[in-house]
Structure 1
Amino acid sequence: MKARTIFGVLRLAAAIVCLVALVHRLFWGLSSQTIAGDNFFAYLTVQSNCALVVVLVIGAVLAFARAADPRWFTVALSLVLTWTITAGLAFALIVWQAGIRGIRVDVPWSDQVLHFWLPACTAIAWVLTPGHRGVPWWIVPVSLAFPLAWGGVTMWRGPIVGWYPYYFLDPRQVSGPVEFLATSGVALAIFALVASALVLISRMRRPGHERPEV
């Protein structure tokens, strides 16, 4: 079996695992009988992982049909990975801070898969897949478009429903505009750093991998 075919199967398997984890997390949240469960699709993690399912299925088809991934696919996957990896880092920080404050945070297996295992494994496979292309630097600023748009909608929607997906976006849980802006700035910086790391890794010279000209 050709290496591209193997990685195509792995991409399809990852998409299935991601979809199963999303469904489990949805019903787990609904069973908690909290407003967080009712707002399942408001989470950046959920939205970015839904995008990951779509991109991985497309990637599987490309791996079966082509000897190399087209540039647009590599760019799309790197953007989605930026969002899922950063969401995982933010979730880890939230769980850690909750533990310090003595606040219980239940983390089901689906959360562990969506926030940690799947982004890490997908990123490793993305780098190792034969026919993988390098990523241009302009994806770094572009990667901020989704979190900025998501944040804008979240801040508009929050007062209407009385709920925010993350505590640092809730005006009732931060000390004021300074803390809100500082936390948001740090979050955007992490998105940019993750995107930059993916660009650097993708541009390393390896047999069977192409580097971009820009």
Structure 2
Amino acid sequence: MRARAVFGVLRLAAAAACVIALVHRLFWGLSSRTIAGENFFAYLTVQSNCALVVVLVIGGALAFLRATDPRWFSVCLALVLTWTITAGLAFALIVWQAGIRGIRVDVPWSDQLLHFWLPACTALAWALTPGHREVPWWVVPASLAFPLTWGAVTLWRGPLVGWYPYYFLDPRQVSGPPEFLLTSAVALAIFALVATAIVLISRTRRGRTDAA
């Protein structure tokens, strides 16, 4: 239980850091006085990190109260980690492509924390935190439900407000339907691959525990 308590504190600390980063990113975006700042909550990163805060707070409490996490919590955490980690990978690709095209992309410390440091730390914690339950394979297809729903709402909302959170969803910034479909398929494939890795780690760790 002592190790669980330590990771419980770490979960709560990560939730607090996430809240601070989200608040800073909100006001940083609003200070830019652009439509992107006004649509802060339209980003998949923001929505998934809001969910991460809730899950980490619950997980912190569970770490103090139970020797193992209930299966429903492990499933919820696996889904949320899939979304936040994939969002971080996608953001890194966007920044890289922008650099190739000579487009300046400002990345404040809050964006770095939300897109890079928190996903990396939570992924490491997933592999190390004691008391995780084995996650079923249906989590992989289930993890696609959120990005698909978010994408559909974004495509519906984009023409109404004249803005899209990511360039590859904007018909004005892609060469046509083939590029849009290809980019979207790659994004969904990354979600599925990340979910597969998360499920595999949980099942491998469970096997080691049983063997021990």
TM-score tier, shorter chain, comes to: over 0.9
Instruction: Identify the residue that residue 28 of structure 1 maps to in structure 2.
Output: 28
Contact 1:132 1:210 in 2 (8 A): no
2:43 aligned with 1:56: no
1:203 Cα deviation (Å)?
1.1
Instruction: Identify the residue that residue 113 of structure 1 maps to in structure 2.
Output: 113
Cα distance in 1 between the residues matched to 2:208 and 2:131: 6
Contact 2:36 2:165 in 1 (8 A): yes
Instruction: Identify the residue that residue 86 of structure 2 maps to in structure 1.
Output: 86
Instruction: Identify the residue that residue 188 of structure 2 maps to in structure 1.
Output: 188
Cα distance in 1 between the residues matched to 2:144 and 2:82: 9
TM superposition outliers: structure 1 runs of 4+ over 6 Å: none
Task: Kindly provide the amino acid, as one letter, of the partner of residue 13 in structure 2.
Answer: A
Q: CA RMSD in A?
A: 1.5
Task: Kindly provide the amino acid, as one letter, of the partner of residue 145 in structure 1.
Answer: A
1:208 Cα deviation (Å)?
7.8
Instruction: Identify the residue that residue 74 of structure 2 maps to in structure 1.
Output: 74
2:99 aligned with 1:96: no
Cα distance in 1 between the residues matched to 2:51 and 2:93: 23
Cα distance in 1 between the residues matched to 2:174 and 2:130: 46
Task: Kindly provide the amino acid, as one letter, of the partner of residue 19 in structure 1.
Answer: V
Deviations, residues 28-73 of structure 1 (Å, cap 9, x unaligned): 0001111000000000000000000000000001001001000010
Instruction: Identify the residue that residue 173 of structure 1 maps to in structure 2.
Output: 173
TM norm structure 1: 0.95
Cα distance in 1 between the residues matched to 2:190 and 2:130: 28
2:139 aligned with 1:135: no
1:205 Cα deviation (Å)?
3.9
1:201 Cα deviation (Å)?
1.1
Cα distance in 2 between the residues matched to 1:209 and 1:26: 42
Contact 2:134 2:206 in 1 (8 A): no
Contact 1:164 1:170 in 2 (8 A): yes
State the secondary structure of the residue aligned to 1:50.
helix
TM norm structure 2: 0.96
State the secondary structure of the residue aligned to 1:106.
coil
Contact 2:67 2:131 in 1 (8 A): yes
Higher helix fraction: Structure 1 or Structure 2?
2
Task: Kindly provide the amino acid, as one letter, of the partner of residue 161 in structure 1.
Answer: V
Q: Provide the identity percentage.
A: 82
Deviations, residues 159-208 of structure 1 (Å, cap 9, x unaligned): 00000000000001111111111111110000000000111111114688
Between Structure 1 and Structure 2, how many residues are aligned? 211
- Structure 1: runs of 5+ lacking an equivalent: none
Cα distance in 2 between the residues matched to 1:40 and 1:57: 23
State the secondary structure of the residue aligned to 2:183.
helix
Deviations, residues 128-166 of structure 1 (Å, cap 9, x unaligned): 111111211100000000000000000000000000000
